[in-house]
Structure 1
């Protein structure tokens, strides 16, 4: 496990070149962000073209890869996944926190938190690590859920591949607050500001054949996303 004092952007590939005032340099902040977010986008070269796809993910800071392990999973039949094995991939995780309405088109922006992880994707073959990674992916969506489920069948496991990407090469940027307008645009009197955005969960909707009340893990997730 990497120490929280280890800085981000340890390599040229993950050193931010523009917007350096928005750089997050504390690796502990990255860890907290990845624990909170829900969707990653993985970029991989497939044949003669790049592909970027949304993917559920999870992080194990104590994983065997340098800096910890970021796990992705998918069908063993997925073309992108087969090409990712042993290749350098880019995983981007973004949360949109607001829309920034400036007094000029040039200064319009968005408030966000975004992390980029670059590394060689490793096929997870150790059974214990695979099982833990898949549990972590489930718990990323609904914390504590994995422990309430039946074990995966051999058929399900055979159909699922798990990839691990080292967390060592990572960068993070964030923006918050209102517009950065020019003084003359402010003086002109045009309105400027920002619109905060946040994820909100609705009430859990039972499947038609579901029995009993909403389980505690799902109810807790709803409350957490509702800010309760």
Structure 2
């Protein structure tokens, strides 16, 4: 398989480059699979790395928060790095050295821009809710102008990004293959639990999407 080159020197994967991917579809899939990203940025001479919910709108990663948020203000003033990761399995080898994880991760570089247009902002927030529960936005109380004004939506282009993926089994040294210990992969997945209806919810029946 022919792989695209890294979009920039800082996105080029140097450690285990055979795990690297740079194509837009793979980047989008890794971003979509995770619900939380970590945003690293510099603010007033101090480095910060904060987790926050994210979603994808086309070829942009989006985040949101209160208009007064220090992080959101800082992100439009300087460069940042956003990372996302999903852990898919524990790789249990015959030696401690070769234990590993199966994972999908992405690193995205650039500068966020604010979504100023009210209609675009509302559409972006709708995309966020729809990513969590398709069809739910139409059932909700309409968002108000006051709520839109109090909310900041930022978006970051996915153009400068790299992905690393490991999705295979155990890789042990030949001399360890006969060592008497179990070896294999323990799959991991995020699974939704039983819905818990709010005591004051007018609608008592759990939507099929959550059932």
Q: CA deviation at 1:215?
A: 5.2
Q: In the TM superposition, what are the counterparts of 1:138-149 in structure 2 within 5 Å?
A: 138-149=129-140
Query: How many angstroms does 1:12 deviate by?
Result: 1.0
Query: Is 2:50 aligned against 1:53?
Result: yes
State the superposition RMSD in angstroms. 2.0
Residue 17 of structure 1 pairs with residue 14 of structure 2:
yes
Unaligned runs of 5+ in 2: none
Q: Residue 6 of structure 1: CA displacement?
A: 9.7
Deviates more, 1:15-24 or 1:25-34: 25-34
- Counterpart-to-counterpart distance in 2, 1:28 and 1:183: 36
State the shift of 1:161 in Å: 0.7
Residues 144-188 of structure 1 show CA distances to partners (whole Å, capped at 9, x for unaligned) of 222221222232222211111011001111112322111111133
Map of 1:110-129 to 2, 5 A cutoff? 110-129=101-120
| Deviations 1:109-151, CA, capped at 9 Å, x for gaps | 1111111111111111111221111111122222222222122
Moved more, 14-23 or 184-193: 184-193
TM alignment of 1:178-189, pairs within 5 A: 178-189=169-180
- 1:95 positional shift: 0.8
Does the C-alpha gap of structure 1 residues 81 and 144 become closer, same or farther in structure 2, counting only changes over 3 Å? same
2:41 maps to what in 1?
Answer: 44
Q: Classify the secondary structure of the residue corresponding to 2:87.
A: strand
Secondary structure at the aligned position of 2:116 is classed as coil
How many residues align? The count is 210
Tell me how far apart the structure 2 counterparts of residues 171 and 183 of structure 1 sit (CA, whole Å). 32
Select between 86-95 and 163-172 the one with higher mean Cα deviation: 86-95
Go from structure 1 to structure 2 and tell me whether the alpha carbon gap of 1:13 and 1:144 turns closer, same or farther (over 3 Å shift). Answer: farther
Work out the CA distance in 2 between the residues paired with 1:154 and 1:23: 43
The reply on whether 1:99 has 2:96 as its aligned counterpart is no
Does the 8 Å CA contact 1:8/1:27 hold for their aligned counterparts?
Answer: no
Q: Is the 8 A contact 2:110 2:160 kept in 1?
A: yes
- Does the aligned pair in 2 maintain the 1:8–1:171 contact within 8 Å? no
- Which shows bigger deviation, 206-215 or 123-132? 206-215
Q: Return the offset for 1:28.
A: 1.4
Q: Please give the TM-score of this superposition, normalised by the length of structure 1.
A: 0.84
- Give the 3-state SS of the residue equivalent to 2:98 in structure 1: coil
Equivalent positions of 1:158-169 (< 5 A) are: 158-169=149-160
